[in-house]
Amino acid sequence: MTVKAIKGAIFHLLDDPETIGADQATQYFADGMLILEDGFVRACGKRADLEPGLGTGAEIVDHSGSLIMPGFIDTHIHFPQLDMIASFGEKLLDWLERYTFPEEAKFADPAHAEECANFFLEELLRNGTTSALVYGTVHKESIDALFGAAYKRGMRIVAGKALMDRNVPEAVRDTAESGDLDSRELIEKWHGKGRLGYAVTPRFAPACSDDQLTRAGKLLAEIPDLLMHTHMAENTSEMDWVKTLYPDAKDYLDVYAKFGLLTDRSVFAHCIHTGGEVFQRMAEHGAAVSHCPTSNLFLGSGLFNLREAEKYGVKVGLGTDVGAGTSFSMLQTLNEAYKVSHLKGHALDPYKSFFLATLGGARALNMADKVGNFEDGKEADFIVLDMAATPLLKRRLKTCTSIDETLFVLSMLGDDRTISHTYIAGECRYSK
């Protein structure tokens, strides 16, 4: 057995601070220790309490002066959109036609997919993201490449090939049958291998025929630990389109629900132009929202109402939504989530912010029994934050007098430079 003892300041969350209160939900050890056994958390607490019980064989890793926290969990990101991030001028539907689909067509080439997959995962690690729910393209090769690269790194990644059999260019179109067969082949090959999981991934209702959505629902019902990952209610033109395509559906969510895609394993990105009773139904079914503020602002899609979703008890995680999102950094994503919440009438509490980026994301992806905090037995995915990453950050953090203030400043001023190390299952996979 390999034992490691990690020294440093430690912060993590045991629960949602808005549900049970910050005192119960948060743990902060200014002089802390995280003890790992074979890549799993065995203890987390004050160094003075844990150090005396350490055996002589433990490897000591000293991150004193830095802040250790669980790795970030990105609940919605597109790995094939790397090379068209920051594309100018369009809103969702034109952005898809003009930039996204031509870029995604390149992933029919496995060599291109493999090169992008490796870059993508390194970029996640560089930004402190240890788990993600990832879109591939329509090509099964894209997901083969991503899973192969994630498996090599031991990362907990959930992904799926996009299902899209109508209203998209031919180069990125499958058929209901081929999409189903390709998904099944990928599930057979990768689902449950190492730390990998599969998500049935209809691109969004306008790009999927009834036959395709029916098969997606059947597949989801057949295999009990698959996730379902899609987009919903992101853009007003998209909303109008869905209404035209499905005149009999009560609303956008109802389209997915009719095909068996509204479940406690379903993750819906965006959910901006909706609320009230739709959130109520999502909560009743245990479905999750991925809140993607940098993307929603970049594409001019709108402002997600986090407060409203929470009022109904919907699970919420944060997503970067690269390449509509403008940053891989969950710290930058928290920055914009704060501003969006402010515009919606409430200031997002820093404890809540870091909950969304860690344990909340894990809950949204149904993996909170494995990652998201430092409870005993969890997989030891964690990051080390450099409190002097930039001159301004160093200067501002010196004035902080509490951990919540420190966390808030990190979420406003932090980015990839703030991540000094990223550990996957107890192994350092990135250091600055």
Pick from 204, 252, 328, 354 the residue near ligand GUN by CB under 6 A: 204
Least distance to ligand GUN from the beta carbon of 214, Å? 20
Least distance to Zn ion from the beta carbon of 230, Å? 9
* Among ligand GUN, Zn ion, none, partner that 34 touches (CB below 5 to 8 angstroms by kind): none
Q: Give the contact letters, 287-306, x = binds to ligand GUN (CB under 6 A), - = no.
A: --------x-----------
The DSSP-derived string for 93-147 is HHHIIIIIHHHHHGGGSHHHHHHHHHHHHHHHHHTTEEEEEEE--SSHHHHHHHH
φ, ψ (nearest 5 deg) of residue 156: -85, 100
| Contact status: 142 vs ligand GUN (CB under 6 A) | no
Least distance to Zn ion from the beta carbon of 269, Å? 5
Least distance to ligand GUN from the beta carbon of 76, Å? 8
Of 186-194, 251-259, 269-277, 282-290, which part binds Zn ion (CB under 5 A)? 269-277
Its sign, for the CA torsion 371, 375, 381, 385, is positive
| Contact status: 415 vs Zn ion (CB under 5 A) | no
Determine which helix (DSSP H) or strand (DSSP E) holds 40, and give its type and residue range.
strand 40-46
Q: What is the DSSP letter of 174?
A: -
Q: Are 135 and 79 in contact (CB under 8 A)?
A: yes
| Contact status: 321 vs ligand GUN (CB under 6 A) | yes
Least distance to ligand GUN from the beta carbon of 61, Å? 38
Pick from 7, 78, 265, 352 the residue near ligand GUN by CB under 6 A: 78
Specify the residue, 29 or 135, whose C-beta has the smaller distance to ligand GUN: 135
| Contact status: 381 vs ligand GUN (CB under 6 A) | no
* Among ligand GUN, Zn ion, none, partner that 204 touches (CB below 5 to 8 angstroms by kind): ligand GUN
From CA 131, how far away is CA 198, in angstroms rounded?
Answer: 13
| Contact status: 234 vs ligand GUN (CB under 6 A) | yes
The DSSP-derived string for 261-327 is --STTEEEEE--S--THHHHHHHHHT-EEEE-HHHHHHTT-----HHHHHHTT-EEEE---TTTSS-
Residue nearest to Zn ion according to CB distances in the complex: 321
Of 92-100, 328-336, 354-362, 379-387, which part binds ligand GUN (CB under 6 A)? 92-100
| Contact status: 201 vs ligand GUN (CB under 6 A) | no
Smallest Cα–Cα separation from 320: which of 415, 227, 235? 415
Least distance to ligand GUN from the beta carbon of 90, Å? 11
Instruction: Determine the residue type at 58.
Output: A
Q: Indicate left, alpha or beta for 251 from its phi (over 0: left) and psi (-120 to 50: alpha).
A: beta
Pick from 26, 66, 75, 100 the residue near ligand GUN by CB under 6 A: 100
From residue 179, alpha-carbon distances to 138, 166, 268, 313, 339 in Å are 8, 12, 20, 33, 39
Size of the site for Zn ion (CB under 5 A): 2
Pick from 139, 191, 203, 421 the residue near ligand GUN by CB under 6 A: 203
Pick from 73, 309, 324, 425 the residue near ligand GUN by CB under 6 A: 324
Q: 303: how many CB neighbours lie within 10 A of its CB?
A: 15
Q: How far is CA 333 from the centre of its chain?
A: 11
| Contact status: 232 vs ligand GUN (CB under 6 A) | no
| Angle (nearest 5°) at CA 226 between 223 and 229 | 135
Pick from 74, 103, 144, 321 the residue near Zn ion by CB under 5 A: 321
**Binding positions for Zn ion, rule: CB under 5 A:** 269, 321
**Binding positions for ligand GUN, rule: CB under 6 A:** 78, 92, 96, 100, 203-204, 231, 234, 295, 321, 324
